[in-house]
Amino acid sequence: MKDTDIRKYAELMKELGLTGLEIEDDSTRVRLERLREPEKPLATRETAAQPTPAQEPLPAKDYVSVRSPLVGVFYSSPAENAAPYVSVGDSVTEGQVLCIVEAMKLMNEITAEYSGTIAQIMATNGQVVEYGTELFRIKR
Q: According to the model, what pLDDT value does residue 1 have? A: 67
**What's the total number of domains in the chain?**
2
Can you tell me the distance from the alpha carbon of 125 to that of 84, in angstroms, rounded to the nearest whole number? 9
pLDDT single digits (tens) 53-101: 445 555 667 899 999 999 999 999 999 889 999 999 999 999 999 999 9
Residue 45, phi then psi, degrees to nearest 5: -60, -40
Residues 16 and 71 placed together within one structural domain of the fold: no
Predicted TM-score (pTM) of this structure: 0.58
Residue 119 has pLDDT above 50, yes or no: yes
Containing structural domain, residue 15: 3-33
Say if 19 falls within a structural domain. Answer: yes
pLDDT single digits (tens) 19-42: 777 777 777 777 777 665 555 555
Can you tell me the distance from the alpha carbon of 92 to that of 63, in angstroms, rounded to the nearest whole number? 13
Q: According to the model, what pLDDT value does residue 10 have? A: 76
Residues 135 and 77 placed together within one structural domain of the fold: yes
Residues 65 and 107 placed together within one structural domain of the fold: yes
CATH number of the domain that residue 72 is part of:
2.40.50.100
CA distances to 12, 14, 27, 28 from 24, in Å? 16, 19, 8, 6
